[in-house]
A and B are shown apart, each in its own frame.
Chain A
């Protein structure tokens, strides 16, 4: 179990970092999405891995329970990273339509840019 989760987090992170370092917007977005998946699984595991246990105390017996806090954290993290990815997609679409290029690196500001004054 631990090995499986650890390998999955590691593979997702490695892939995410590799893709984030590319220079096209699409691969960078996929890379950041992979990174956020990795961190969600990682956060989920941070309370310790437990199979088949409820995330709540039971007053009817000595039943073990799994830590509920990481689940709440993951939920928050998923919502936020989802929203952020949506914003990123919109802005990169905007940048693509405006500049006709999906590269995320910036050229040296040319001497005669017409856009730089408001």
Chain B
């Protein structure tokens, strides 16, 4: 049963090897990193198959039973997110290797593996303090990746990103301290047990802890009013890193989903109204901010970053309902928006590296203008939520799930108007970059500056540079094609997530017989 910890162990062993043994040999590091990522996908598939029949598997570190020891918990939700992470990681890594991004600074592959380790660990852990530790692992790797390649704007944006997240980490610890002082445990299942039996006079302190943790997760998920760090970070990060960061906002969304359904969720009097009272309005504003940001952006990378904020708003609207139906829709939209955001960043990277900069203004058309335009068009309609790709189905599922009175009017208005504005924004950006550029007269070659000449004669993208972006678009189309079976599976996932009793009894089972029984 050591499969459960394998997604953490594999990158954790590989990263130091790459950093110390292969640091002078980029091709060796590339091979090791690619094989590691393929291995991670394989492990994630095995994990998904392990929990296929609805088991919750518990891995006890040091064989200490919960809540005394730290446990990793593998259920449908964790397996799904680890799978999404590993597939995204492999695709993004291929892009970074193919375009040579990984050679623009040092230790890209080691940091990349540490990042994957932190993300997988955060999805698997069943203990909130351990969640904090994995957050720090993924953050410290992301700091290195964020400033990979250097440059003035990037380093300054990276500095801001680090400061925001250090403040967020401090807040996380304050929240954990209050929580521990109230319920005396940090295991998620045990917190749920203690919260159910919490006397009314201690409820206030538990609410403080729940709100502090909500703010921390909201920072990670880029939710209003703590979304301000995202555009600067994503727009200035190296494009493959920004594509990988598409899963980082989902770590925040996952943490909210996990902790606020099981530990602070429906049926727990002290904290159950945090979702509708706080998360829902915040998500509404986030959708609006993202849409207006897309409309107002003057550069391509910030435009994509704002579309990520908008998609996080839509996702959190669905999560904030805290019902199994809405969670099913949220999970589908989560998988979709991760791949859609990554596809946009990778395609934008192909385009921007062949232009002077990412300003949304007509310039000389790049080589392969038509191909890039088609790719961008595909990713943009997926992100904006137009048929035939998965964005349309995702938004439809979210709309369909948000039918409660008092919720429907706001959520539908926000999502539909937000989508409209996003479509306008993307259409404007696409026509500026790809269409109007073709109307630019070719200058006399003698009058061109060296830089312009270099850009016009920039090499066309080789097939394996385009392959990762194509693969992501293929995944988005695939999500739309297999939407039926996938939503059936996601229904099981959310049903399992809302079945608090069996989660508690499996994780806290002192004998461990359940696990042994399920091994056979």
Contacts and interface: CB of A to CB of B under 8 A. Distances in A.
A113 B76 CA distance: 46
Contacts of B357: 113, 116-117
A95 interface: yes
Interface string B117-133: 00000000000010001
Contacts of B17: none
B180 A69 contact: yes
A25 B166 CA distance: 13
B169 A80 contact: yes
B155 A39 contact: no
A11 B133 CA distance: 27
Contacts of B353: 117-118
A115 B154 CA distance: 8
Nearest to A100: B152
Contact of B157 (A70, A85, A106): A106
B238 interface: yes
Interface in A60-79: 69-70, 73, 76-77
B159 A104 contact: yes
Interface residues of B, number: 47
Contacts of A85: 166
A83 B140 contact: yes
A76 B154 CA distance: 30
Interface in A79-103: 80-81, 83-85, 87-88, 91-92, 94-95, 98-99
B232 A106 contact: yes
Contact of A32 (B152, B170, B232, B236): B170
B129 A76 contact: yes
Contacts of B256: none
Interface in B142-163: 143, 147, 149-160, 162-163
Contacts of A20: 163, 167
A69 B151 CA distance: 43
Nearest to A80: B136
A106 B160 contact: yes
Contacts of B101: 118
Interface in B336-350: 349
B152 A91 contact: no
Interface stretch (B49-57, B171-179, B436-444, B509-517): B171-179
B455 to A, nearest CB: 10
B358 interface: yes
B383 interface: no
B180 A115 contact: no
Contacts of A42: 173-174, 177
Given A94-B155, A99-B155, A39 B177 contact: yes
A104 B160 contact: yes
A92 B180 CA distance: 34
Contacts of B139: 84
29 contacts: A28-B163, A35-B167, A39-B174, A42-B174, A43-B173, A70-B180, A73-B176, A80-B136, A84-B140, A84-B166, A84-B169, A88-B163, A91-B143, A91-B158, A91-B162, A95-B155, A98-B151, A98-B155, A99-B155, A99-B156, A106-B156, A106-B232, A113-B357, A115-B152, A115-B153, A116-B151, A118-B101, A118-B104, A118-B238
Interface of B: 101, 104, 129, 133, 136, 139-140, 143, 147, 149-160, 162-163, 166-167, 169-170, 173-174, 176-178, 180-181, 232, 236, 238-239, 299, 349, 352-353, 355-359
Given A73-B180, A91-B158, 7 more contacts: A32-B166, A39-B173, A39-B177, A46-B178, A91-B162, A94-B147, A115-B154
